[in-house]
Amino acid sequence: MGHDPSCIFCKIVAGQIPCARVYETEHALAFLDIGPLKPGHLLLIPKEHHATLPELPDTVAAETARLLPRLCRAVKAATDAEGLNVLMNVGPVAGQSVGHVHWHIIPRHGRDSIAWPWNARSYAEGELEPIRQAIAASLRPEG
């Protein structure tokens, strides 16, 4: 199992730093965020160290992410949330502040103070199909 001795989440997994553990399996750990956006803000991490989602092996991703529905139900029930944000930031430019793969599960209530500044736009003429093709080509098995 990969471990980075300088990673705060690896230190949590190793028991070197305490956390408010909520759920744990052989491959994953869920604990309360110490800087929550709302009470009940949960983090889910693989115990194996991988800095970002693209680096995460499919098997580790599957073992970790399979817990998301169960954890979402638990957070929603425990906080009486009307909804949830389940999100992941991938890389510092996207807001990832800890270089260890992690999902946020954030309980939401109507008119809470959390805001997300989506700057949605439309595709320009001729822009959609080339990006669709490039992504699809990247998913083809290497031969």
| Residue 29 and residue 100 in contact, taking contact as beta carbons nearer than 8 Å | no
Q: What share of the chain is helix, strand, coil (3-state, %, to 5)?
A: 30, 15, 50
Indicate which residues carry an active-site annotation: 102
Q: Is 21 helix (H, G, I), strand (E, B) or coil?
A: strand
Tell the residue number behind the tokens 């599960």, with chain if given: 105
